[in-house]
């Protein structure tokens, strides 16, 4: 990944589908002088994503793309990203799988955060599975996005202890807190 030159930050889009706590955290991080990225676009596949409120709150452009009604949706997203001079994408709770073709267009420039110690527990319900398997540890991972779900090169991970009294709710909370440390740290690692 290219080194930062001067003060220009890398124009970044964050893709969300839900609550957007990682989005909010990334926006706050992006405003720090040390941040290599600026958040210039928020993309969602649904207008129900609670995190969209942060677009208004922080004055960032948002756009919803309907994946169900539109065969050309990825083409439209790509055009929109190019139009807004976006060169980096952070997925943060984005619940749609991007095609090989889309990923190729942003080769090595899309990253994702996942609530498990990848390669363990790709996909959904990671905390439920970790508890069911009586795992002693879980964690979160930031990785490059490839055409294979949750399988791209790992950038950074944080390991978190699972307490005997943990349930999916407590674990989700615990892991999310660490995700908010990890995502900015992984971005710093990529660009510095």
H and E: helices and strands count for the chain: 6, 7
* Active site annotation includes 114: yes
- For the CB of residue 103, give the shortest distance to ligand GRF in the complex, in Å: 17
* Under 8 Å between Cβ of 121 and 130: yes
Which one, 21 or 45, has the nearer CB to ligand GRF? Answer: 21
**How far separated are the first and last CA of the chain, in Å rounded?**
9
Two structure tokens written together for 104? 């190729």
- Sorted by sequence, the CB contacts under 8 Å of residue 136 that are 6+ apart come out as 161, 162
Which one, 19 or 76, has the nearer CB to ligand GRF? Answer: 19
Any idea which residue has 């619940």 for tokens?
Answer: 95
Interacting residues toward ligand GRF by CB under 6 A = 16, 18-23, 51, 92-93, 113-115, 140, 176, 179
- For the CB of residue 168, give the shortest distance to ligand GRF in the complex, in Å: 12
Q: Which residues pair with 159 in a beta bridge?
A: 139
Which one, 18 or 108, has the nearer CB to ligand GRF? Answer: 18
Q: Which residues pair with 38 in a beta bridge?
A: 11
Catalytic annotation, pick one of 114, 127, 143, 180: 114
- Comparing every residue's Cβ against ligand GRF, the nearest one is 93
- For the CB of residue 16, give the shortest distance to ligand GRF in the complex, in Å: 6
What is the set of active-site residues? 114
């Amino acid at each position: 990944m290219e080194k930062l030159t001067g003060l220009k930050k890398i124009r970044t889009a964050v893709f969300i589908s839900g609550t957007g706590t990682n989005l909010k955290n990334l926006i706050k991080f992006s405003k720090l002088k040390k941040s290599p990225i600026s958040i210039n676009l928020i993309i969602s596949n649904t207008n129900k994503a609670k995190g969209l409120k942060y677009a208004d709150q922080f004055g960032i452009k948002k756009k919803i793309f309907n994946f169900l009604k539109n065969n050309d949706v990825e083409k439209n997203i790509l055009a929109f990203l190019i139009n807004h001079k976006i060169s980096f994408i952070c997925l943060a709770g984005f619940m749609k799988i991007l095609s090989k073709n889309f990923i190729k267009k942003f080769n090595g420039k899309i990253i994702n955060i996942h609530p498990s110690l990848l390669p363990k527990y790709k996909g959904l319900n990671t905390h439920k599975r970790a508890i069911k398997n009586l795992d002693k540890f879980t964690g979160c991972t930031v990785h490059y996005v490839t055409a294979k779900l949750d399988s791209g090169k790992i950038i950074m991970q944080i390991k978190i202890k699972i307490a005997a009294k943990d349930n999916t709710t407590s674990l989700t909370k615990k892991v999310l807190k660490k995700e908010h440390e990890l995502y900015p740290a992984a971005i710093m690692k990529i660009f510095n």
